[in-house]
Structure 1
């Protein structure tokens, strides 16, 4: 057996031994859950940061955009959530108009229609200028 093979075998065996000792120590010192703890206290939503989500769009497939906005609408974030959908001068704005319209009465959603294509970064900036959240995604 070569020196390299011996070193490799020793290294793997040492790793296995250290890993076993580590896992055993974790199991030994893990705290048990106390059933007498008070019930879960809901999160104070005023203490959570407000979140603005920017969705830049350009010639998107209406089904894809609808799925994206549906996913955002179904989020369970207890803090304030705003969604800014920025259409960057799409040629298919008439095709996605029903998708935009389906969120017209949801106060969390804002649709920004840019008259011409200015590029993704400038479209994002247009939404950032309207946003006021603590976190912008």
Structure 2
């Protein structure tokens, strides 16, 4: 899908000003133009890339949920927010050849592994209670 926009490559609204952006999830945000859309599509996969923006940024913001593969190090440990956002930025640059652009985002404790871990703890707790009864 090709997008033809005349958006400022060096400006983004605050995250709270992006309609539809889930503030309780890990997200990555960049301005919308043809090359950035291609990079986001490749780096955000399998997650969907959303086009948004409001108040002077209409249609000029791309955002996606950060894939779990960016949220964890090779050893399975969770990465710090700065490292995750740097890796997303590097991916966009590597996939598109874009050398300079503004980006933003946030990292929340919402990767699939954390939900799986919580589920595993719940199952173990149920088993332990079952053994005590």
Q: Same fold (TM over 0.5)?
A: no
Higher share in strand: 1
**Normalising by structure 1, what TM-score?**
0.27
Larger radius of gyration: 1
